[in-house]
Amino acid sequence: MRIYLSSLGCARNQVDSEVMTGRLAAAGHEFTDIAQEAEAIIVNTCAFIESAADQAIEEILDLASCKQQGECKKLIVTGCLPQRYGFESARALPEVDLFLGTGAYDLIEKALTKDNCFKENCILPPPEQTVLPAWDAPRSWNKGPVAYIKIMEGCGRHCTYCIIPRLRGSLRSRPAFDVAREACFLADQGAAEIVLVGQDTTSWGRDLKSSQRFSDLLKEVAETVSDRWVRFLYGHPDQIDTRLLKTIESHCNICRYLDIPIQHASDRMLKRMGRGHDKKFLAALFEQIREILPDAALRTTALVGFPGETNKDFTQLLEFVEQVQFDHLGAFVYSDAGDLPSHKLDGHVPAQEAQDRHDLLMMRQADISLAKNRQRIGKSMDVMIEGRSEDDMFFGRTRFQAPEVDGVTFIKTTSGPGEIIRVRITDADEYDLTGVPA
Protein backbone atom coordinates (compact mmCIF):
# COMPACT_ATOMS: atom_id res chain seq x y z
CA MET A 1 0.00 0.00 0.00
CA ARG A 2 0.99 3.62 -0.44
CA ILE A 3 1.21 5.16 3.02
CA TYR A 4 1.30 8.70 4.33
CA LEU A 5 2.55 9.10 7.91
CA SER A 6 2.17 12.24 10.01
CA SER A 7 4.41 12.32 13.09
CA LEU A 8 3.47 14.77 15.84
CA GLY A 9 5.20 15.70 19.07
CA CYS A 10 8.75 15.24 20.31
CA ALA A 11 11.89 13.56 19.01
CA ARG A 12 10.94 10.37 20.88
CA ASN A 13 7.76 10.18 18.83
CA GLN A 14 9.82 10.78 15.72
CA VAL A 15 11.91 7.70 16.51
CA ASP A 16 8.72 5.66 16.98
CA SER A 17 7.50 6.87 13.59
CA GLU A 18 10.82 5.98 11.94
CA VAL A 19 10.66 2.48 13.41
CA MET A 20 7.08 2.00 12.19
CA THR A 21 7.89 3.19 8.67
CA GLY A 22 10.99 0.99 8.66
CA ARG A 23 8.95 -2.08 9.51
CA LEU A 24 6.33 -1.23 6.90
CA ALA A 25 8.93 -0.57 4.22
CA ALA A 26 10.57 -3.93 5.00
CA ALA A 27 7.12 -5.53 4.57
CA GLY A 28 6.86 -4.08 1.05
CA HIS A 29 4.77 -0.97 1.62
CA GLU A 30 5.58 2.33 -0.11
CA PHE A 31 5.41 5.87 1.23
CA THR A 32 4.24 9.15 -0.22
CA ASP A 33 4.56 12.76 0.91
CA ILE A 34 1.15 13.60 -0.56
CA ALA A 35 -1.69 12.59 1.72
CA GLN A 36 -4.28 12.61 -1.07
CA GLU A 37 -2.32 9.91 -2.92
CA ALA A 38 -2.08 7.55 0.05
CA GLU A 39 -4.13 4.38 0.36
CA ALA A 40 -3.50 4.36 4.11
CA ILE A 41 -2.78 7.23 6.50
CA ILE A 42 -1.11 6.89 9.89
CA VAL A 43 -1.08 9.69 12.47
CA ASN A 44 1.39 9.13 15.31
CA THR A 45 0.12 11.40 18.06
CA CYS A 46 1.23 13.31 21.13
CA ALA A 47 -1.15 14.04 24.01
CA PHE A 48 1.22 15.17 26.75
CA ILE A 49 -0.74 18.40 27.27
CA GLU A 50 -4.12 19.66 26.09
CA SER A 51 -2.71 21.73 23.22
CA ALA A 52 -0.86 18.68 21.86
CA ALA A 53 -4.04 16.60 21.98
CA ASP A 54 -5.94 19.41 20.22
CA GLN A 55 -3.29 19.55 17.50
CA ALA A 56 -3.51 15.78 17.05
CA ILE A 57 -7.31 15.87 16.70
CA GLU A 58 -7.09 18.71 14.20
CA GLU A 59 -4.56 16.76 12.14
CA ILE A 60 -6.70 13.61 12.25
CA LEU A 61 -9.83 15.43 11.10
CA ASP A 62 -7.92 17.21 8.34
CA LEU A 63 -6.46 13.95 7.02
CA ALA A 64 -9.79 12.14 7.37
CA SER A 65 -11.02 14.17 4.40
CA CYS A 66 -8.74 12.04 2.23
CA LYS A 67 -11.15 9.14 2.75
CA GLN A 68 -13.75 11.09 0.77
CA GLN A 69 -11.58 13.19 -1.53
CA GLY A 70 -8.46 11.04 -1.98
CA GLU A 71 -7.30 7.45 -2.28
CA CYS A 72 -7.32 6.68 1.46
CA LYS A 73 -9.11 3.51 2.50
CA LYS A 74 -7.73 3.22 6.04
CA LEU A 75 -6.96 5.84 8.69
CA ILE A 76 -4.93 4.64 11.69
CA VAL A 77 -4.07 6.67 14.81
CA THR A 78 -1.16 5.56 17.00
CA GLY A 79 0.62 6.71 20.12
CA CYS A 80 -0.27 8.85 23.09
CA LEU A 81 -3.74 10.13 22.11
CA PRO A 82 -5.42 6.71 22.13
CA GLN A 83 -3.28 5.62 25.10
CA ARG A 84 -4.46 8.58 27.17
CA TYR A 85 -8.11 8.77 26.13
CA GLY A 86 -8.78 5.13 25.26
CA PHE A 87 -12.17 4.23 23.87
CA GLU A 88 -13.25 7.84 24.30
CA SER A 89 -11.02 8.56 21.29
CA ALA A 90 -12.86 5.95 19.23
CA ARG A 91 -16.25 7.38 20.14
CA ALA A 92 -15.19 10.97 19.41
CA LEU A 93 -13.42 10.18 16.13
CA PRO A 94 -15.54 7.68 14.14
CA GLU A 95 -13.56 8.70 11.03
CA VAL A 96 -10.64 6.61 12.34
CA ASP A 97 -10.55 2.91 11.44
CA LEU A 98 -8.10 1.78 14.12
CA PHE A 99 -6.41 3.18 17.23
CA LEU A 100 -3.14 1.67 18.50
CA GLY A 101 -1.78 2.67 21.92
CA THR A 102 1.88 3.07 22.85
CA GLY A 103 2.15 -0.65 23.65
CA ALA A 104 0.85 -1.67 20.21
CA TYR A 105 3.41 -0.28 17.77
CA ASP A 106 4.41 -3.81 16.78
CA LEU A 107 0.89 -4.36 15.43
CA ILE A 108 1.24 -1.73 12.71
CA GLU A 109 2.01 -4.28 9.98
CA LYS A 110 -1.01 -6.38 10.91
CA ALA A 111 -3.15 -3.24 10.93
CA LEU A 112 -2.45 -2.69 7.25
CA THR A 113 -3.23 -6.20 6.06
CA LYS A 114 -6.59 -6.74 4.36
CA ASP A 115 -7.53 -9.57 6.69
CA ASN A 116 -6.60 -8.08 10.07
CA CYS A 117 -8.91 -9.57 12.66
CA PHE A 118 -8.89 -7.10 15.56
CA LYS A 119 -12.04 -7.54 17.60
CA GLU A 120 -12.10 -3.83 18.54
CA ASN A 121 -10.96 -0.66 16.85
CA CYS A 122 -8.98 0.54 19.90
CA ILE A 123 -6.02 -1.67 20.89
CA LEU A 124 -4.49 -0.69 24.24
CA PRO A 125 -2.10 -3.32 25.62
CA PRO A 126 0.00 -2.26 28.65
CA PRO A 127 2.75 0.20 27.60
CA GLU A 128 5.36 -2.13 29.14
CA GLN A 129 4.47 -4.61 26.40
CA THR A 130 6.39 -2.49 23.93
CA VAL A 131 9.54 -4.32 22.81
CA LEU A 132 12.37 -1.81 22.52
CA PRO A 133 13.80 -2.13 19.00
CA ALA A 134 17.37 -3.34 18.69
CA TRP A 135 20.02 -1.37 16.83
CA ASP A 136 19.51 -3.35 13.60
CA ALA A 137 15.71 -3.13 13.56
CA PRO A 138 14.35 -1.64 10.30
CA ARG A 139 14.12 2.12 10.64
CA SER A 140 13.39 4.76 8.00
CA TRP A 141 15.80 7.44 9.18
CA ASN A 142 15.61 10.56 7.00
CA LYS A 143 19.40 10.61 6.55
CA GLY A 144 19.69 14.25 7.60
CA PRO A 145 22.58 15.61 9.68
CA VAL A 146 20.90 14.63 12.97
CA ALA A 147 19.86 11.18 14.18
CA TYR A 148 17.98 10.56 17.41
CA ILE A 149 18.43 7.40 19.46
CA LYS A 150 15.79 6.50 22.03
CA ILE A 151 17.85 4.89 24.78
CA MET A 152 14.93 3.97 27.02
CA GLU A 153 11.18 3.91 27.31
CA GLY A 154 8.89 5.00 30.13
CA CYS A 155 9.67 6.81 33.36
CA GLY A 156 10.05 5.78 37.00
CA ARG A 157 9.25 9.18 38.47
CA HIS A 158 5.88 10.51 39.55
CA CYS A 159 5.84 14.27 39.03
CA THR A 160 2.31 15.36 39.84
CA TYR A 161 1.80 17.32 36.59
CA CYS A 162 3.02 14.54 34.28
CA ILE A 163 1.08 11.82 32.47
CA ILE A 164 4.13 10.09 30.94
CA PRO A 165 4.33 7.05 33.30
CA ARG A 166 0.73 6.24 32.44
CA LEU A 167 1.25 6.74 28.72
CA ARG A 168 4.63 5.04 28.43
CA GLY A 169 4.90 2.77 31.44
CA SER A 170 7.78 2.27 33.85
CA LEU A 171 11.45 2.81 33.04
CA ARG A 172 12.97 0.27 30.60
CA SER A 173 16.56 0.89 29.52
CA ARG A 174 18.18 -0.50 26.38
CA PRO A 175 21.54 -2.28 26.80
CA ALA A 176 24.53 0.07 26.42
CA PHE A 177 26.19 -2.04 23.71
CA ASP A 178 22.98 -1.95 21.67
CA VAL A 179 22.73 1.85 21.86
CA ALA A 180 26.41 2.20 20.92
CA ARG A 181 25.98 -0.12 17.91
CA GLU A 182 23.02 1.94 16.73
CA ALA A 183 25.08 5.13 17.06
CA CYS A 184 27.84 3.54 14.98
CA PHE A 185 25.33 2.37 12.35
CA LEU A 186 23.75 5.83 12.06
CA ALA A 187 27.16 7.49 11.85
CA ASP A 188 28.11 5.11 9.05
CA GLN A 189 24.90 6.11 7.30
CA GLY A 190 25.95 9.76 7.41
CA ALA A 191 24.62 11.20 10.68
CA ALA A 192 26.86 14.07 11.78
CA GLU A 193 25.24 14.39 15.20
CA ILE A 194 23.86 11.69 17.49
CA VAL A 195 21.25 12.82 20.02
CA LEU A 196 20.31 10.52 22.90
CA VAL A 197 16.74 10.92 24.11
CA GLY A 198 14.31 9.35 26.56
CA GLN A 199 11.56 10.44 28.89
CA ASP A 200 14.14 10.86 31.68
CA THR A 201 17.39 10.36 29.81
CA THR A 202 19.86 10.63 32.67
CA SER A 203 17.98 7.93 34.61
CA TRP A 204 19.09 5.38 32.02
CA GLY A 205 20.35 2.18 33.65
CA ARG A 206 18.59 2.51 37.00
CA ASP A 207 16.41 -0.49 36.11
CA LEU A 208 19.30 -2.66 34.92
CA LYS A 209 20.99 -5.27 37.07
CA SER A 210 24.42 -3.94 36.16
CA SER A 211 26.11 -1.01 37.87
CA GLN A 212 26.17 0.99 34.64
CA ARG A 213 24.70 4.46 34.72
CA PHE A 214 24.08 7.14 32.13
CA SER A 215 27.63 8.50 32.30
CA ASP A 216 28.90 5.04 31.27
CA LEU A 217 26.52 4.91 28.32
CA LEU A 218 27.44 8.43 27.22
CA LYS A 219 31.15 7.56 27.38
CA GLU A 220 30.65 4.40 25.32
CA VAL A 221 28.66 6.21 22.64
CA ALA A 222 31.11 9.13 22.48
CA GLU A 223 34.08 6.80 22.06
CA THR A 224 32.25 4.65 19.51
CA VAL A 225 31.49 7.65 17.27
CA SER A 226 34.44 9.83 18.22
CA ASP A 227 34.26 11.88 15.00
CA ARG A 228 30.59 12.84 15.48
CA TRP A 229 28.87 15.33 17.74
CA VAL A 230 27.06 13.64 20.63
CA ARG A 231 24.31 15.33 22.61
CA PHE A 232 21.66 14.28 25.12
CA LEU A 233 18.35 15.93 25.99
CA TYR A 234 15.91 15.76 28.92
CA GLY A 235 18.27 15.40 31.89
CA HIS A 236 16.77 15.30 35.38
CA PRO A 237 18.55 17.50 37.97
CA ASP A 238 18.81 14.61 40.44
CA GLN A 239 20.87 12.57 37.98
CA ILE A 240 23.41 15.21 36.94
CA ASP A 241 26.45 14.32 39.03
CA THR A 242 30.20 14.91 39.02
CA ARG A 243 30.84 11.65 37.19
CA LEU A 244 28.62 12.72 34.30
CA LEU A 245 30.10 16.22 34.13
CA LYS A 246 33.64 14.79 34.09
CA THR A 247 32.62 12.45 31.27
CA ILE A 248 31.48 15.44 29.22
CA GLU A 249 34.65 17.34 30.10
CA SER A 250 36.93 14.50 28.95
CA HIS A 251 35.30 13.93 25.53
CA CYS A 252 35.63 16.73 23.02
CA ASN A 253 32.85 15.37 20.79
CA ILE A 254 30.21 15.54 23.54
CA CYS A 255 28.50 18.91 23.18
CA ARG A 256 28.95 21.14 26.22
CA TYR A 257 25.22 21.53 26.39
CA LEU A 258 23.01 20.48 29.29
CA ASP A 259 19.24 20.35 28.95
CA ILE A 260 18.00 20.23 32.55
CA PRO A 261 14.32 21.06 33.09
CA ILE A 262 13.89 22.70 36.50
CA GLN A 263 10.12 23.37 36.18
CA HIS A 264 10.28 25.82 39.09
CA ALA A 265 12.52 27.39 41.74
CA SER A 266 10.12 27.85 44.63
CA ASP A 267 10.58 25.16 47.28
CA ARG A 268 6.83 25.08 47.82
CA MET A 269 6.11 24.57 44.13
CA LEU A 270 8.85 21.97 43.71
CA LYS A 271 7.35 19.97 46.58
CA ARG A 272 3.84 20.18 45.14
CA MET A 273 5.19 19.12 41.76
CA GLY A 274 6.87 16.06 43.31
CA ARG A 275 10.31 17.03 42.08
CA GLY A 276 12.25 15.67 45.07
CA HIS A 277 14.71 18.56 45.56
CA ASP A 278 14.73 22.26 46.50
CA LYS A 279 16.05 25.54 45.12
CA LYS A 280 19.28 25.24 47.15
CA PHE A 281 20.00 21.92 45.42
CA LEU A 282 19.38 23.46 42.00
CA ALA A 283 21.60 26.46 42.71
CA ALA A 284 24.44 24.20 43.85
CA LEU A 285 24.01 22.01 40.78
CA PHE A 286 24.34 24.87 38.29
CA GLU A 287 27.28 26.28 40.24
CA GLN A 288 29.01 22.88 39.99
CA ILE A 289 28.31 22.69 36.26
CA ARG A 290 29.85 26.12 35.72
CA GLU A 291 32.91 25.10 37.77
CA ILE A 292 33.59 21.90 35.81
CA LEU A 293 32.26 23.06 32.41
CA PRO A 294 32.59 26.85 32.38
CA ASP A 295 31.81 27.02 28.65
CA ALA A 296 28.70 24.81 28.85
CA ALA A 297 25.39 26.10 27.51
CA LEU A 298 22.44 25.57 29.84
CA ARG A 299 18.90 24.95 28.70
CA THR A 300 15.87 24.51 30.95
CA THR A 301 12.10 24.51 30.98
CA ALA A 302 9.79 26.11 33.53
CA LEU A 303 6.14 25.47 34.33
CA VAL A 304 4.07 28.48 35.40
CA GLY A 305 0.52 28.66 36.70
CA PHE A 306 0.82 25.37 38.59
CA PRO A 307 -1.92 24.93 41.22
CA GLY A 308 -1.09 26.99 44.27
CA GLU A 309 1.51 29.21 42.58
CA THR A 310 1.46 32.66 44.17
CA ASN A 311 3.07 35.89 43.03
CA LYS A 312 5.79 35.21 45.60
CA ASP A 313 6.47 31.75 44.12
CA PHE A 314 6.63 33.19 40.62
CA THR A 315 8.96 35.96 41.74
CA GLN A 316 11.33 33.34 43.14
CA LEU A 317 11.34 31.63 39.75
CA LEU A 318 12.11 34.92 37.98
CA GLU A 319 14.94 35.68 40.40
CA PHE A 320 16.42 32.21 39.94
CA VAL A 321 16.38 32.56 36.15
CA GLU A 322 18.13 35.91 36.49
CA GLN A 323 20.67 34.34 38.86
CA VAL A 324 21.56 31.31 36.75
CA GLN A 325 21.43 33.07 33.35
CA PHE A 326 20.30 30.13 31.22
CA ASP A 327 21.33 30.22 27.57
CA HIS A 328 17.96 28.79 26.51
CA LEU A 329 14.66 28.55 28.36
CA GLY A 330 11.25 27.29 27.35
CA ALA A 331 8.23 28.15 29.50
CA PHE A 332 4.90 26.38 29.58
CA VAL A 333 1.57 27.26 31.13
CA TYR A 334 0.21 24.48 33.34
CA SER A 335 -2.29 22.35 31.42
CA ASP A 336 -4.86 20.81 33.74
CA ALA A 337 -6.69 17.53 33.20
CA GLY A 338 -8.76 15.25 35.40
CA ASP A 339 -6.33 12.34 35.04
CA LEU A 340 -3.39 14.27 36.55
CA PRO A 341 -2.56 14.03 40.28
CA SER A 342 -2.11 17.82 40.29
CA HIS A 343 -5.76 18.25 39.28
CA LYS A 344 -6.75 17.53 42.88
CA LEU A 345 -4.52 20.24 44.32
CA ASP A 346 -6.07 23.45 45.54
CA GLY A 347 -5.35 26.97 44.34
CA HIS A 348 -5.72 26.61 40.58
CA VAL A 349 -4.41 29.75 38.88
CA PRO A 350 -6.71 31.68 36.50
CA ALA A 351 -5.72 31.12 32.87
CA GLN A 352 -5.00 34.78 32.07
CA GLU A 353 -2.85 35.21 35.18
CA ALA A 354 -0.84 32.11 34.26
CA GLN A 355 -0.41 33.39 30.70
CA ASP A 356 0.75 36.79 31.96
CA ARG A 357 3.40 35.06 34.09
CA HIS A 358 4.51 33.01 31.09
CA ASP A 359 4.86 36.12 28.94
CA LEU A 360 6.82 37.99 31.61
CA LEU A 361 9.20 35.06 32.13
CA MET A 362 9.85 34.72 28.40
CA MET A 363 10.41 38.48 28.11
CA ARG A 364 13.04 38.30 30.86
CA GLN A 365 14.66 35.29 29.21
CA ALA A 366 14.74 37.09 25.84
CA ASP A 367 16.86 39.82 27.44
CA ILE A 368 19.22 37.22 28.92
CA SER A 369 19.50 35.30 25.64
CA LEU A 370 20.16 38.49 23.67
CA ALA A 371 22.95 39.54 26.04
CA LYS A 372 24.54 36.09 25.86
CA ASN A 373 24.33 35.98 22.06
CA ARG A 374 25.83 39.46 21.71
CA GLN A 375 28.83 38.28 23.73
CA ARG A 376 29.46 35.79 20.94
CA ILE A 377 29.86 38.46 18.24
CA GLY A 378 33.43 38.39 16.92
CA LYS A 379 34.09 34.86 18.14
CA SER A 380 34.69 31.89 15.86
CA MET A 381 32.96 28.56 16.40
CA ASP A 382 32.05 25.35 14.60
CA VAL A 383 28.67 25.29 12.86
CA MET A 384 26.97 22.22 11.43
CA ILE A 385 25.15 23.14 8.21
CA GLU A 386 21.54 21.92 8.07
CA GLY A 387 19.93 23.56 5.05
CA ARG A 388 19.18 26.67 3.01
CA SER A 389 16.91 29.49 4.20
CA GLU A 390 14.57 31.53 2.01
CA ASP A 391 16.90 34.52 1.58
CA ASP A 392 19.72 32.53 -0.05
CA MET A 393 21.50 32.02 3.26
CA PHE A 394 22.36 28.66 4.75
CA PHE A 395 21.51 27.86 8.33
CA GLY A 396 23.12 25.54 10.82
CA ARG A 397 23.77 25.06 14.52
CA THR A 398 26.62 25.53 16.91
CA ARG A 399 27.24 23.00 19.65
CA PHE A 400 25.19 25.16 22.02
CA GLN A 401 22.11 25.10 19.75
CA ALA A 402 20.16 21.85 19.93
CA PRO A 403 18.08 20.75 16.91
CA GLU A 404 14.49 22.00 16.71
CA VAL A 405 14.35 23.57 20.19
CA ASP A 406 16.93 26.40 20.06
CA GLY A 407 17.85 29.10 17.59
CA VAL A 408 20.05 28.66 14.51
CA THR A 409 23.08 30.30 12.92
CA PHE A 410 22.78 31.86 9.45
CA ILE A 411 25.80 31.84 7.13
CA LYS A 412 26.60 32.58 3.50
CA THR A 413 28.44 29.47 2.38
CA THR A 414 28.54 26.79 -0.28
CA SER A 415 28.84 23.96 2.21
CA GLY A 416 26.15 21.27 2.25
CA PRO A 417 24.03 19.76 5.02
CA GLY A 418 26.06 17.76 7.54
CA GLU A 419 29.31 19.64 6.92
CA ILE A 420 30.91 21.39 9.87
CA ILE A 421 32.62 24.70 9.11
CA ARG A 422 34.32 27.36 11.18
CA VAL A 423 32.21 30.52 11.40
CA ARG A 424 32.90 33.98 12.81
CA ILE A 425 29.79 35.47 14.40
CA THR A 426 28.93 38.94 13.05
CA ASP A 427 25.43 39.60 14.42
CA ALA A 428 22.98 38.27 17.00
CA ASP A 429 19.40 38.58 18.15
CA GLU A 430 17.52 36.94 21.03
CA TYR A 431 17.61 33.47 19.51
CA ASP A 432 19.61 33.37 16.26
CA LEU A 433 23.15 34.19 15.21
CA THR A 434 24.58 35.35 11.88
CA GLY A 435 28.13 34.74 10.72
CA VAL A 436 30.62 34.35 7.87
CA PRO A 437 33.09 31.54 7.18
CA ALA A 438 36.15 32.16 9.35
Domain boundary among 84, 101, 129: 129
Average pLDDT over residues 141-148: 87
Residue 328's CB is within 10 A of a number of other CB atoms, namely 22
- pLDDT on residue 417: 82
Average pLDDT over residues 322-346: 96
Which pTM value belongs to this model?
0.94
Mean pLDDT, the chain, whole residue set:
94
Shared domain for 396 and 335, answered yes or no, is: no
Sign of CA dihedral 244, 247, 253, 257: positive
Residue 300 to residue 429: CA distance in whole angstroms:
19
Contact status, residue 221 vs residue 230, Cβ threshold 8 Å: yes
Least confident window among 95-99, 143-147, 196-200, 407-411: 143-147
Which amino acid, 130? Answer: T
Rg of the Cα atoms in the chain: 22
- pLDDT on residue 261: 97
Q: Which residues are CB-contacts of 432 (< 8 A; sequence separation ≥ 6)?
A: 373, 407, 408, 409, 410
Instruction: Give a three-class secondary structure readout of 274-331.
Output: CCCCCHHHHHHHHHHHHHHCCCCEEEEEEEECCCCCCHHHHHHHHHHHHHHCCCEEEE
Shared domain for 384 and 364, answered yes or no, is: no
Residue 215 to residue 203: CA distance in whole angstroms:
10
The CA-CA-CA angle for residues 249, 254, 258, to 5°, reads: 80
Shared domain for 109 and 195, answered yes or no, is: no
| Per-residue pLDDT at 392 exceeds 80 | no
| Per-residue pLDDT at 114 exceeds 70 | no
Q: What is the CATH number of the domain that holds 100?
A: 3.40.50.12160
Average pLDDT over residues 178-199: 95
Task: Of 7-11, 70-74, 106-110, 298-302, give the range with the top mean pLDDT.
Answer: 298-302
Residue 391 to residue 373: CA distance in whole angstroms:
22
| Per-residue pLDDT at 216 exceeds 90 | yes
pLDDT band at 68 (very low <50, low <70, confident <90, very high): confident
Average pLDDT over residues 180-196: 95
- pLDDT on residue 117: 66
Contact status, residue 24 vs residue 76, Cβ threshold 8 Å: no
| Per-residue pLDDT at 18 exceeds 70 | yes
- Does residue 261 fall inside a structural domain? yes
- pLDDT on residue 415: 75
| Per-residue pLDDT at 116 exceeds 70 | no
- Does residue 176 fall inside a structural domain? yes
Residue 301 pairs in a beta bridge with 330
Pairing of strands 229-232, 328-333: unpaired
* Structural domains in the chain (count): 3
Shared domain for 182 and 221, answered yes or no, is: yes
User: Which domain does 77 fall in, by range?
Assistant: 2-129
pLDDT band at 97 (very low <50, low <70, confident <90, very high): very high
User: Cα-flanking dihedrals φ and ψ of residue 30, to 5°?
Assistant: -115, 160
Give tens-digit pLDDT for 359-383.
999 999 999 999 999 999 999 999 9
